[in-house]
Each structure stands twice: as structure tokens, then as C-alpha cells.
Amino acid sequence: MRRRLTRSMLGLAMLAATVSGGSIQAAMFVTTADGNGADTALQNDSQSGGTSTVVAGGFGNVPFRRSDDSRQKMLLVRFDISTLDSSSFADAVLRFDYNHNRLRTMRVYALAEDFDNWDESTTSYSNAPGILQPDQGGSAYDSAGNNFLDATELFFPGAPTPERPNPFQIGTIQLEDTRGLPGGRGVLISNPAALDLEPVLSADTNGLVSFLLFQDGSDTSQTGDIATKENAALLEPMLGVLPQTLIPEPTTALLAAIGLFGLGVRRR
């Protein structure tokens, strides 16, 4: 029932964002369920016999975790922005329903345009774009630094000053500990000041953008997951300028406070 209600609210919000004066306008936000969107996890786990070939495209929640030299579980999401209004690019945010048992920073990368049309029904750590495979010089389980990234398949936003750390990182998202929230879950909204999506969106020419997200530090105990478009109760990942119906009240979701502040600040 909750999924049907939230889906109805989402549909009404998108309708309000796309219809004006009887004419259809470009959308102000999209989800991984729209068009050619997709979401999955990339898992590489030595302690489970090597799960580098696990395909998580049909999972309702995709896990993320980092423990250097033993396991790495990352998020890979794609949005179809062919209907997204370009006026929303400067203020665009990412929104996730998620849980996490630590305070942590998540790094965000974008895939180069030639590699963003991956198939979630077949994509795993062992064949994912942006991942340097062992036969290409990558380490099977080493997640220290960025040793697993294939820089030739990542989006490079020009020549930023100062140079972006960890080649081509476009920004970060701050994760909160959600264990004290109802159901142990919260809503995460990125801050445009910390994660500027405009260069990626503006550079797109094929209507698709893909993001690879992983945590910035190793911790043997931290773990979390994000709801996907296959989830029966929660909302899928979103990109764009969100209506108020999709933004939690600070009094009931403090973990969105930073994102709410950033949402109202247009990038200068």
C-alpha cells in the first residue's frame, strides 16, 4: 500500500512539474525507473569466495560497503535525462532512500559517455564500466584509494582548479547513521555545493548519465543499502530539482538538513 501511495504522489509531482498552461514541459527531475534508467550494485568479496560476478540489477535494495583488501560493494546508477529541463541542471541533486550504520562520506564519479549504456541484467563488478579489471592491471579485491578505477572510462569535467582529488571525482555525499530513525531508514539528498552535477549534465549528448558511488574509507563494520526501482515499498533513486513532497521535514529527518540547505542555493 505504501508503495502505491508513494508512486501516486510521485506521479502527481512529476505531472505538476511537466504540465504548464496545458502544454507539456520538460521534467524537473527523473528517476532510475524512467526511460532507460537503471540501478545496481557492484560487489567484490574475497570472504564469500569471490562475488565479483554477482548481478544485482534485480535487487530491491543494493548494498554498499568498503573493507579494503577483502570486500567492496559500490553503487552504479543511470538516469535518462532526455526529458530533463536544462534549467534544473545547476540545482540538480541526487535523492536516495537508504540506511547506513556509520557517518561516512561517499565519493561520486560519472562515467564517460561512451560507457553509460550498460545493462543492469548482466552488469557485475567483473564487467562493469569504470572498473579496472585484474587482467587490465587492477587488483581483485583491493579497494584502497582508487586502484580499482579505470580512468579512461570516467567522465573528466575539463581542467578544474584545484585539480580534483582521486582522478575525476565530481563530488561527495555525506552519509548519516540512520539506526535511530523509524525503520532504520532515512532519505538522503545531496548538496549542490559538495556535489555539482551541472558539468556532467551539460556535457551529455546521448540523454544518459551514469554515476559510480563508493565510500571514501575502509571500515570492517560499516554497511548500508539504497532502495532501487525494484523496491516494493520505497522510492527509487532520483535526479533533478525535487518538489517539496519528496523532501523530508528537518524535524523528522535531520540527515537531510545539509541537502535541504544546498537545494536552495543555486550554483554561482
Grouping H, G, I as helix, E, B as strand and the rest as coil, residue 1 is: coil
pLDDT digits (tens, 9 = 90+) for 7-52: 544 554 554 444 444 444 578 999 999 999 999 999 988 877 777 8
| pLDDT at 259 exceeding the cut of 50 | no
- Grid cell listed for 220: 570492517
Assess whether pLDDT exceeds 90 at residue 6.
no
Please compute the mean of the pLDDT values over residues 101-112 and round it to a whole number: 91
Q: Is the pLDDT reported for residue 109 higher than 90?
A: yes
- Bridge partners of 186? 98
pTM of the model: 0.83
User: What is the distance between the alpha carbons of residues 9 and 155, in angstroms, rounded to a whole number?
Assistant: 34
Higher per-residue confidence, 158 vs 29: 29
Element (DSSP H or E) covering residue 44: strand 38-45
Q: Which residue has the cell 560476478?
A: 53
Top-confidence residue, 255 or 130:
130
DSSP codes joined into one string, 238-264: EEEPPPGGGS--TTT-GGGHHHHHHHT
For 111-146, how does the pLDDT look when each residue is reduced to its tens digit (9 = 90+)? Answer: 999 999 899 999 999 999 999 888 887 777 776 767
Q: Which residue has the cell 556532467?
A: 200
| Between residues 4 and 46, the one the model is more confident about | 46
Identify the pLDDT of residue 19.
46
Q: How far is 117 from 129, CA to CA, in rounded Å?
A: 9
Are 175 and 100 in contact by the 8 Å Cβ rule? The answer is yes
Q: Which of 215, 251, 3 is nearest to 100 (CA)?
A: 215
What's the pLDDT at 148? 86
So what's the pLDDT on residue 80?
Answer: 97
Residue whose C-alpha cell is 528537518: 250
Q: What is the pLDDT of residue 27?
A: 87
* The predicted structure's pLDDT at residue 22: 41
For residues 102-113, average pLDDT: 91
Q: Tell me, what's the pLDDT at 25?
A: 57
Q: Compare 36 and 72 and report the one with higher pLDDT.
A: 36
The C-alpha angle 18, 23, 24, rounded to 5 degrees, equals 35
Q: Measuring CA to CA, which residue among 223, 226, 252 is closest to residue 101?
A: 223
User: Can you give the pLDDT at residue 46?
Assistant: 80
Q: How far apart, in Å, are the Cα atoms of 160 and each of 114, 165, 170?
A: 22, 10, 10
Q: Tell me what pLDDT residue 260 has.
A: 40
Supply 234's cell numbers.
Answer: 520505497
pLDDT mean across residues, the chain: 82
Q: What is the DSSP track for 188-226?
A: EE--TTTB--HHHHHH-SSSEEEEEEEESS--SS--EEE
Residue of 143, 124, 166 lying closest to 219 (CA atoms): 143
